[in-house]
């Protein structure tokens, strides 16, 4: 299958995402220029990390006006898979494709380090290769990853199981100490109602090679491959599963 | 009527003798613009006028060296058609005046030096030095200047923020470096930034203009009034009084986003084959790039000021030529293909304007509205720039050779095991030794997905995806050592940087240096400089490390107080297979037997008096609060064999961990190996020496290894081939550090208490709110 990696001016994890899907996962990959509207028949779109447009105004705020984003939105509306990583997640929030907003990290500093993530929902195109409650080790790398959303939307997210990963400790436990950036309800990743658009602050492309310390990120790309190749069929959107906290 | 008065000449930091030389070289009086141009090009920062004759002594040749000093950065051959481009540079004074922007633009400048050569930057490191951030034994500086804890913390926060902001946004991993605290850096912090890039060997670019009639193209950010005279007033003068505030406008402002675009556009333009030469506009901006590119190509460059993209209105030729606005490049393209090149920059949203042409006359010609406002022979600014053989004289010792009486009395008394354990805890909590996670977690250390060992290791290690090779890199300096003995200190700095690289298994292939000193017009400072050059030369020759470039930073003085002489050495090493590298943490042993802990080189490597060499140690600084004696002597031939042996053992896969012994000695190294893995250690000394020497002495040429019992025989065999010692001192395991000497238990400290000292004190200190 083919992953399209969008290149905004200031994207700096575009090469890494490209390398991960092409060399670690053995799939096709293509760079998609921000001023183009052609997704080049990609099966899935990655909005990579970085500092698109210098993060001027707000993180991700300018990127969502790029011509390519019109095509990405249409693609997503038709059920196409879109994965936003870090700055890509911020762009998905700014463009309204996902709900909520990012605040500055609680300690007001940029944070780069591996964190533990608990898998909250395996019934999505990006998590079908994972087990419920599985704990992954994947790095974060951001200054604004403190996820925030109003109470009502939070309840909806929980009810519809749109919270995909939470920050946790090595055993999957949730505590304030293991919440690196102050995110509401330890949220590290959410998806849309259809599950086909997912944003995550941690960088799975940095966890695809044992030489660099972790291969836990591969399952996320592998899940997308499963979803596209039909080895996994998306379940109906589940409502009212037990609250996650 | 003369418009150039002696006062004006003096304001430009040009001496009367230098001014007569200007008159001779031009054969006439300079215009104001020309005077400005001379002042920056002949500044210490650009001309190396005080250091040049000493720098010639450095070894710069080697089988792998493709480019030595003189270009934007040095280049070494990695084989497989790949080349590695690297350099370290200072941005000290700007970082004192405006910590965040000063440090950020320091990173920006060194990154441009790398990609100007056609290389994509793949790693950076930073070597930082500040005044004390905690109250310790230094209540005040010479002259009664109080220690300014709050100021020093503010500068640290700003510098770390700036380094992080620029590197993170640009997208280059920060893989290591060092942070040091010492009173002498209080009003003159050191910010040295290292960058390394990769290029195909046949696609390197050089800063050379060629082909008369070819277009000279300005690319990148617009020119503003920022940074005017940065090179002459900030970098080549010492500070006094209110300079910190007054010189703020001389500091440039950086935009890493723009630099990221510039990187991508430059690499794309270079790849088009239509770019013939390119140089970044760093110190002395447009002036430096114009005359140096012409000079190297044996041609001239003519530029028109009215065509230069400007951020502000009403800028004069003087201001445009001297501006140090960031994120700008000057390139020469092939005539007839300039639109192709310009188109690439437009695609990335950058200004690209033809501002001049290559001319046959070897001059730099500057026009404003068609009228010539400056015309200077290239050589007058480069080869003919003044070179000084300044007087130097050995400095009389300021610190005693033997421990002061009170210290001697203290050292004569044996220290109890309990006290030694407390000493270790205090050392681990000291800012110079403790974990710098608070700093390094603010840096992206992983982007580009190549980082095998990031900050906190002996050396940063990255892989090269294209070839499967690995590159290790380390930055090291020790001002205390060099203050006590510049030559010994410099030898140790080279030895340690190289040892750090060897401890990963990589073979050192090249070096770079950033030489931070006081005012070279003082004979004692120039003596320090000359001694340091000799020390670097001796060590580099012994270890076969050619110096391929670097930077000299003089005038690191405030109110006449000079910093310690501080050469910072960067060493780059090559691993033919990235997988075959070693790291510092002990390995988890599960239910198996503990691993043997071995000090390669031996627990003690010098016969010199402990009482003399201990005075330069971290123990003396932190626990005793005194400075005396000489730094440890390093026997270079032995050092070379220890490092070669270490690399051999790692290449054969015989060791499970390797860690250089340096600040804080063996006890600190043991704690670091244990804390990074959670695996404790039990150590027994057979020697009868003072336990302080065994635990905290800083003898050179030592690497701490751990290995399985099964590997011991093979290790012994290899060690004997290298004719070095290797002392087995204990085993790994447990959750404490247990130490005994000659059958008597000295102490047992839990890893938990070591950890809280090592990890928690530094962040708490720096985050502490003070009113």
Q: Which uninterrupted H or E stretch holds A221?
A: helix A218-229
Catalytic residues of A: 86, 203, 205
The tens digit of pLDDT for each residue in A63-82 reads 999 999 999 999 999 999 99
Give residue B233's pLDDT: 62
Residues of B in contact with A10 (CB under 8 A): 169, 257, 260-261
Measure in Å the smallest separation between the Cα of A125 and chain B Cα atoms.
24
Give residue B402's pLDDT: 95
CB atoms within 10 A of CB B269: 26
- B452 interfacial to chain A (CB closer than 8 Å): yes
Give residue B143's pLDDT: 76
Q: Which of B164, B261, B449 sits opposite A110 (nearest CB)?
A: B164
Question: What is the Cα B464 distance to its own chain's centre?
Answer: 22
State the average pLDDT for chain A: 94
Q: How far is residue B260's CA from residue B108's CA, in Å, rounded to a whole number? A: 10
Give residue A241's pLDDT: 42
Nearest CA in chain A to B443: A112
ipTM of the complex in this document: 0.94
Percentage of chain A with pLDDT > 70?
95
Residues 212-271 of B with CB under 8 A from A: 255-258, 260-261
Q: How far is residue B84's CA from residue B82's CA, in Å, rounded to a whole number? A: 7
- A130 interfacial to chain B (CB closer than 8 Å): no
The neighbouring-strand residues paired with B89 are B193
Q: Confirm if B524 and B45 have CB atoms less than 8 A apart.
A: no
Residues of A in contact with B450 (CB under 8 A): 212
Nearest CA in chain B to A23: B465
- A25 interfacial to chain B (CB closer than 8 Å): no
Q: Verify whether the Cβ–Cβ distance A110 to B169 is below 8 Å.
A: no
Q: Verify whether the Cβ–Cβ distance B442 to A109 is below 8 Å.
A: yes
Q: Confirm if B301 and B376 have CB atoms less than 8 A apart.
A: no
Q: Verify whether the Cβ–Cβ distance B169 to A205 is below 8 Å.
A: no
Q: Confirm if B375 and B364 have CB atoms less than 8 A apart.
A: yes
Could you give the 3-state DSSP secondary structure of residue B256?
Answer: helix
Cα→Cα distances B704→A240, B643, B662, Å: 57, 12, 10
Q: Are strands B547-553 and B470-476 parallel, antiparallel or unpaired?
A: unpaired
Q: Verify whether the Cβ–Cβ distance B444 to A56 is below 8 Å.
A: no
Give residue B295's pLDDT: 92
- Residues A182-189, mean pLDDT to the nearest whole number: 98
Task: Exactly one of B12, B54, B80, B91 is catalytic; name it.
Answer: B91
Q: Verify whether the Cβ–Cβ distance B171 to A13 is below 8 Å.
A: yes
Q: How far is residue B624's CA from residue B136's CA, in Å, rounded to a whole number? A: 10
Measure in Å the smallest separation between the Cα of B733 and chain A Cα atoms.
22
Q: Verify whether the Cβ–Cβ distance A110 to B170 is below 8 Å.
A: no
Q: How far is residue B309's CA from residue B48's CA, in Å, rounded to a whole number? A: 30
Concatenated DSSP letters of B158-216:
HHHHHHHHHHHHHT--EEEEEEEE-GGGTTS-EEEEEEEEEEEGGG---S---STTPEE
Percentage of chain A with pLDDT > 90?
93
Size of interface A-B (CB pairs under 8 A): 81
Q: What is the dihedral of CA B710, B715, B716, B718, to 10 degrees?
A: 150
Q: Which of A15, A112, A209 sits opposite B448 (nearest CB)?
A: A15
pTM value?
0.95
Residues of A in contact with B261 (CB under 8 A): 9-10
Instruction: Read off the tokens for B142.
Output: 């010479």
Measure in Å the smallest separation between the Cα of A143 and chain B Cα atoms.
9
Q: Are strands B174-181 and B120-130 parallel, antiparallel or unpaired?
A: parallel
The tens digit of pLDDT for each residue in A121-167 reads 999 999 999 999 999 999 999 999 999 999 999 999 999 999 999 99
Give residue A237's pLDDT: 46
Q: How far is residue A215's CA from residue A204's CA, in Å, rounded to a whole number? A: 9
Angle of helix B523-543 relative to helix B486-502, nearest 10 degrees?
Answer: 30
Helices of type H across B468-549: 479-484, 486-502, 523-543
Q: How far is residue B326's CA from residue B253's CA, in Å, rounded to a whole number? A: 7
Task: Exactly one of B12, B45, B54, B229 is catalytic; name it.
Answer: B45
Q: Verify whether the Cβ–Cβ distance B449 to A139 is below 8 Å.
A: no
- B442 interfacial to chain A (CB closer than 8 Å): yes
Give residue B145's pLDDT: 86
Q: Verify whether the Cβ–Cβ distance A54 to B169 is below 8 Å.
A: yes
Q: What is the dihedral of CA A188, A192, A194, A200, to 10 degrees?
A: -30
B671-710 per-residue burial string, b: 16 or more CB within 10 A, e: under 16: bbbbbbbebbbbbbbeeeebbbbbbbbbbbbbbbbbbbee
Let me know the angle formed at the C-alpha of A184 by A182 and A190, rounded to the nearest 5 degrees: 115
Helices of type H across B652-745: 665-675, 691-696, 712-721
Cα→Cα distances A176→A172, A187, B187, B764, Å: 13, 12, 39, 18
Give the N- to C-terminal CA distance of chain A in Å, as an integer. 36
Q: Verify whether the Cβ–Cβ distance A55 to B257 is below 8 Å.
A: yes
Measure in Å the smallest separation between the Cα of A158 and chain B Cα atoms.
31
Contact partners, residue B423, CB within 8 Å, separation at least 6: B415, B619, B623, B692, B695, B696
Residues of B in contact with A139 (CB under 8 A): 446
Concatenated DSSP letters of A94-130:
HTTSS--EEEPPTTSS-EEEEEEEEE----STTTTTS
Let me know the angle formed at the C-alpha of A138 by A81 and A89, rounded to the nearest 5 degrees: 40
Nearest CA in chain B to A142: B444
Q: Confirm if B510 and B546 have CB atoms less than 8 A apart.
A: yes
Residues 142-161 of A with CB under 8 A from B: 143
Helices and strands in chain A: count of H runs, count of E runs: 5, 11
Q: How far is residue B362's CA from residue B643's CA, in Å, rounded to a whole number? A: 49
Q: Verify whether the Cβ–Cβ distance B349 to A15 is below 8 Å.
A: no
- B445 interfacial to chain A (CB closer than 8 Å): yes
Let me know the angle formed at the C-alpha of B45 by B548 and B222, rounded to the nearest 5 degrees: 100
Instruction: Mark the ranges of chain B whose per-residue pLDDT is less than 50.
Output: 1
Residues of B in contact with A143 (CB under 8 A): 168
Q: Verify whether the Cβ–Cβ distance A9 to B261 is below 8 Å.
A: yes
Kindly list the structural domains of chain A, giving each domain's residue range(s) and its CATH number in brackets, ordered by start.
2-229 (3.40.50.880)
Q: Confirm if A126 and A198 have CB atoms less than 8 A apart.
A: yes
- B531 interfacial to chain A (CB closer than 8 Å): no
Residues of A in contact with B255 (CB under 8 A): 54
- Residues A163-179, mean pLDDT to the nearest whole number: 97
The neighbouring-strand residues paired with B476 are B569
- A212 interfacial to chain B (CB closer than 8 Å): yes
Nearest CA in chain B to A208: B449
């Amino acid at each position: 299958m083919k992953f399209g990696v969008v290149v905004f001016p200031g994207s700096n994890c575009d090469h890494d995402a490209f390398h991960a899907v092409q060399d670690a996962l053995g799939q096709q990959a293509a760079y998609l220029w921000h001023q183009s509207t052609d997704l080049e028949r990609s099966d899935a779109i990655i909005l990579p990390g970085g500092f698109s447009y210098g993060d001027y105004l707000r993180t991700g705020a300018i990127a969502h006006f790029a011509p390519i984003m019109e095509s990405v939105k249409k693609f997503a509306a038709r059920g196409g898979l879109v994965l936003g990583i870090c700055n890509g997640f911020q762009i998905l929030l700014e463009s309204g494709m996902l709900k909520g907003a990012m605040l500055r990290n609680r300690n007001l500093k940029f944070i780069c380090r591996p964190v533990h993530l608990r898998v909250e929902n395996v019934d999505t195109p990006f998590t079908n290769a994972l087990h419920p409650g599985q704990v992954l080790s994947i790095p974060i790398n951001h200054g604004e990853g403190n996820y925030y959303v109003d109470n009502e939307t939070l309840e909806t997210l929980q009810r519809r199981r749109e919270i995909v990963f939470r920050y946790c400790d090595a055993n999957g436990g949730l505590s304030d100490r293991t919440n690196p950036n102050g995110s509401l309800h330890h949220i590290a990743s959410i998806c849309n109602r259809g599950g086909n658009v997912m944003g995550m602050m941690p960088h799975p492309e940095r966890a695809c090679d044992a030489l660099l310390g972790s291969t836990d990120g591969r399952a996320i790309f592998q899940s997308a491959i499963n979803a596209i190749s039909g080895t996994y069929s998306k379940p109906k959107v589940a409502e009212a599963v037990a609250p996650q906290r | 009527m003369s418009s150039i008065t002696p006062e004006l000449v003096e304001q430009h930091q040009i001496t009367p003798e230098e001014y007569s030389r200007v008159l001779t070289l031009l054969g006439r009086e300079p215009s104001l613009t020309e005077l400005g141009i001379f002042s920056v090009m002949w500044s210490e920062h650009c001309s190396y006028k005080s250091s040049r004759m000493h720098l010639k002594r450095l070894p710069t040749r080697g089988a792998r060296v493709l480019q030595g000093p003189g270009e934007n950065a040095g280049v070494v051959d990695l084989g497989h058609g790949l080349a590695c481009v690297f350099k370290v540079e200072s941005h000290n004074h700007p970082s004192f005046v405006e910590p965040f922007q000063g440090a950020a633009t320091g990173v920006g400048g060194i990154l441009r030096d790398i990609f100007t050569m056609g290389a994509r930057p793949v790693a950076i490191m930073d070597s930082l030095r500040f005044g004390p951030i905690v109250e310790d034994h230094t209540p005040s500086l010479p002259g009664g200047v109080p220690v300014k804890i709050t100021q020093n913390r503010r500068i640290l926060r700003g510098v770390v923020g700036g380094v992080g902001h620029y590197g993170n946004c640009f997208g280059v991993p920060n893989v290591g470096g060092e942070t040091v605290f010492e009173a002498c850096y209080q009003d003159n912090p050191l910010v040295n930034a290292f960058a390394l890039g990769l290029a195909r060997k046949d696609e390197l670019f050089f800063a050379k203009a060629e082909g008369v009639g070819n277009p000279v193209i300005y690319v990148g950010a617009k020119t503003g009034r920022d940074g005017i005279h940065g090179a002459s007033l900030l970098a080549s003068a010492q500070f006094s009084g209110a300079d910190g505030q007054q010189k703020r406008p001389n500091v440039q402002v950086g935009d890493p986003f723009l630099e990221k675009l510039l990187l991508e556009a430059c690499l794309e333009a270079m790849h088009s084959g239509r770019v013939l030469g390119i140089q970044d506009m760093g110190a002395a901006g447009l002036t430096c790039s114009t005359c140096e590119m012409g000079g190297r190509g044996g041609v001239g460059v003519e530029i028109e000021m009215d065509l230069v993209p400007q951020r502000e209105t009403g800028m004069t030729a003087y201001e445009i030529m001297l501006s140090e606005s960031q994120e700008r490049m000057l390139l020469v393209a092939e005539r007839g293909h300039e639109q192709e090149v310009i188109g690439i920059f437009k695609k990335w949203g950058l200004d690209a304007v033809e501002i001049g042409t290559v001319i046959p006359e070897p001059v730099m010609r500057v026009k404003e509205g068609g009228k010539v406002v400056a015309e200077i022979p290239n050589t007058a600014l480069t080869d003919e720039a003044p070179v000084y053989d300044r007087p130097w004289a050995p400095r009389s010792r300021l610190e005693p050779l033997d421990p002061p009486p009170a210290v001697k009395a203290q050292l004569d008394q044996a220290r109890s095991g309990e006290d030694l354990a407390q000493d270790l805890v205090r050392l681990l909590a000291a800012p110079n030794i403790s974990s710098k996670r608070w700093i390094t977690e603010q840096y992206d250390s992983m982007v580009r997905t190549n980082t095998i060992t990031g900050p906190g290791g002996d050396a940063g290690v990255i892989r090269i995806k294209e070839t499967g090779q690995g590159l290790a890199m380390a930055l090291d300096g020790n001002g205390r050592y060099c203050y006590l003995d510049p030559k010994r200190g410099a030898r140790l700095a080279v030895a340690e940087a190289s040892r750090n690289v060897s401890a990963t298994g990589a073979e050192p292939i090249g070096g770079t240096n950033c030489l931070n000193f006081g005012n070279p017009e003082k004979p004692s400072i120039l003596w320090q400089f000359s001694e340091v050059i000799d020390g670097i030369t001796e060590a580099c020759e012994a270890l076969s490390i050619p110096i391929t470039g670097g930077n000299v930073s003089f005038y690191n003085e405030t109110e006449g107080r000079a910093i310690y002489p501080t050469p910072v050495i960067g060493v780059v090493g090559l691993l033919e297979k990235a997988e075959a590298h070693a790291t510092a943490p002990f390995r988890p042993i599960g239910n198996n037997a503990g691993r043997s802990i071995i000090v390669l080189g031996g627990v003690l490597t010098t016969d010199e008096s402990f009482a003399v060499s201990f005075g330069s140690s971290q123990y003396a600084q932190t626990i005793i609060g005194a400075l005396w004696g000489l730094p440890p002597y390093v026997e270079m031939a032995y050092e070379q064999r220890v490092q070669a042996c270490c690399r051999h053992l790692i290449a054969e896969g015989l060791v499970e961990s390797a860690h250089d012994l340096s600040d804080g000695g063996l006890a600190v190294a043991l704690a670091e190996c244990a804390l990074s893995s959670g695996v404790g250690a039990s150590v027994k000394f057979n020697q009868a020496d003072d336990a302080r020497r065994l635990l905290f002495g800083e003898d050179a040429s030592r690497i701490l290894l751990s290995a399985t019992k099964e590997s011991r025989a093979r290790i012994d065999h290899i060690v004997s081939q290298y004719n070095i010692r290797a002392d087995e001192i204990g085993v790994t395991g447990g959750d404490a550090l247990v130490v005994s000497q000659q059958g008597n238990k000295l102490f047992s400290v839990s890893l938990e208490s070591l950890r809280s000292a090592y990890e928690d004190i530094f962040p708490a200190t720096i985050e502490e709110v003070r009113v």
